[in-house]
Chains A and B, each alone.
Chain A
Amino acid sequence: MSDRIASAGDSVAPPVEGGPTVRLRLRAATPLSTALGLTLARDLRLAFRKRGQLVQPLVFFAIVTTLFPLAISPELSRLRDVAPGVLWVAALLSSQLALEFLFRDDAQDGTLEQYALSGQSLTWLLFAKTAAHWLLTGLPLALMAPLAGLSLGVPAAAVPGIVASVAVGSVALSLIGSMGAALTLGVKRSGALLSLLTLPLAMPVLIFGARATELAIKGGSFGAPLQLLGALAVLGLTLAPLATAAGVRINLE
């Protein structure tokens, strides 16, 4: 129909039922990689403008790991046995802290809607935001976990294992958290609900992360649990961004 120039005598055919449906899609001028870089840079810059909030998960992590010696005993030999669990539970809870606000501000001021309308893939843009979340919580936690570990009597030889397991595991945690944050975007006070949704999903990460840390502390080879953590992270990388984008769309509609 559109190929011909309609003359006065032409009868315009009504749209054929069951014919191909045309989906309007805005084509973005910016390449995806630039858009991703800009999103990531924007989120990092916004975070660094509020340094007080930035260090909160880290301080929380430090405080929680301090609670255990106070609650259990100051004996390093006893603390060393519980150190993997303490480190991992504290890291898990700290990475939960910032989740509620992962998409919240951007949803309220309309940024997410603009992302959805920008013609860029919403999945990738939200993935960039999740990557920023990991850079701001997961990576610093991985660097800080050995310090907390040393204070719990962990030998210095275990440091590489602890850093590796927390770094890889927190990738999976950030991705799981981004799904929870997206699904609860439309809920007003979502903090407790968010934990209720994401913690069951995070339990396998906890199991393998704590196991890798435990093996690292005992001086064993922690390759197997670390690889399983990596598998969980890869599974999260492939599936979680899709679920996150779907969740954000549900709440934007």
Chain B
Amino acid sequence: MAWTWFHRLGSPPYLYSLAARLTPWFAWPTLVLILGGVYGGLVLAPPDYQQGDGFRIIYVHAPSAWMSLMVYTTMAVAAAAGLIWRIKVAHAVAASCAPIGASFTLCALVTGSLWGAPMWGTYWEWDPRLTFELILLFQYLGYMALRSAFEDLQRADRASAMLAVVGVVNVPIIHYSVIWWNSLHQAPSVMKLAKSDMPATMLIPLLMMFLGFTLFFVTVLLIRLRGEVLTRERSASWIREAVTL
């Protein structure tokens, strides 16, 4: 059957060894892309004509903000798969995503506020995108808090999966309501970066960082997933063979 590869993913021992084998394939490109992106962004790219060197924080900020959403989507898809088809491993993926996503969101918030200091003259401005990231962070925290509140793992899996699915419906609503809310209260922020106007020397490092951050997420997800599988299957017999190798 063509679906055998998919069904094998549902087996914890197989997934554990697969994650271990795949990790270097993602880790090395991550390292190359992020180092290259950092060099290109901080050294090779010319300073912005308006923001000077201050704009360079975009090389961390924009990829983090992108990842905060992408990880949430991944988490919700995995959670929905776990709910619908009752795949235990999918719940393990969702559970491993949450702390990574929360970290990216925090990173986007901190870099955004650091960027705001020279540009706006204040560390915090109720900019729609920053506010959105803040609410997204609360959603991640709620997800993790709900998980940790249950003693029964299955119940924690399914309740938090439900929350992740509800949350992903909420994300676009928050996005547009925050934009709408803000547009009524203040002028559009100064940080309108027209992507197409960027010269290639600025744009290529940024794209490298985007790809690098995505691969970094996959790498960390694979590592966390192994830990999650080990914790869940700690009483299973295959663990002894897998770990003593």
Whether B173 is near chain A, meaning CB under 8 Å from some CB there, is yes
* The one of B138, B150, B155, B178 that contacts A199, using a Cβ cutoff of 8 Å: B138
* The one of A204, A247, A251 that contacts B174, using a Cβ cutoff of 8 Å: A204
* The one of B146, B155, B169 that contacts A197, using a Cβ cutoff of 8 Å: B146
Q: List 10 A-B contacts (CB under 8 A).
A: A179-B166, A183-B163, A193-B142, A204-B177, A228-B177, A232-B173, A250-B155, A250-B159, A251-B155, A253-B154
- The contact string, 1 if C-beta is below 8 Å from chain A, for chain B 161-173, is 0110111011001
- Chain B interface residues (CB < 8 Å from chain A): 83, 135, 138-139, 141-142, 145-146, 149-150, 152, 154-155, 158-159, 162-163, 165-167, 169-170, 173-174, 177-178, 180-181, 184
CB of B170 within 8 A of CB of A196, answer: no
CB of A197 within 8 A of CB of B163, answer: yes
Residues of A in contact, count (CB < 8 Å) = 27
CB of A211 within 8 A of CB of B181, answer: yes
CB of A196 within 8 A of CB of B184, answer: no
Q: Give chain A nearest CB distance to B106 CB in angstroms.
A: 15
CB of A250 within 8 A of CB of B162, answer: yes
Contacts of A184 in B (CB 8 A): 146, 149, 159
CB of A207 within 8 A of CB of B159, answer: no
User: What's the Cα separation between A212 and B139 when bound, in Å?
Assistant: 25
CB of B163 within 8 A of CB of A186, answer: no
* The one of A193, A207, A235 that contacts B178, using a Cβ cutoff of 8 Å: A207
Contacts of A199 in B (CB 8 A): 138
CB of A207 within 8 A of CB of B142, answer: no
Contacts of B162 in A (CB 8 A): 183, 243, 246-247, 250
Contacts of A253 in B (CB 8 A): 154-155
- Chain A interface residues (CB < 8 Å from chain B): 179, 183-184, 186-187, 190, 193, 196-197, 199-201, 203-204, 207-208, 211, 228, 232, 235, 239, 243, 246-247, 250-251, 253
Count chain A CB atoms within 10 A of each CB in B138, B152, B154, B167 and give the residue with the most: B138
Q: Give chain B nearest CB distance to A104 CB in angstroms.
A: 15
* The one of A203, A208, A246 that contacts B135, using a Cβ cutoff of 8 Å: A203
A183-B180 contact in complex given A243-B162, A250-B162, C-beta closer than 8 Å:
no
Q: Give chain B nearest CB distance to A240 CB in angstroms.
A: 8
CB of A200 within 8 A of CB of B155, answer: no
Q: Name which residue of chain B comes closest to A196, CB basis.
A: B142
* The one of B142, B158, B177 that contacts A203, using a Cβ cutoff of 8 Å: B177
Contacts of B149 in A (CB 8 A): 184, 187, 190, 193
Q: Give chain B nearest CB distance to A198 CB in angstroms.
A: 9
A207-B177 contact in complex given A187-B150, A193-B149, C-beta closer than 8 Å:
yes
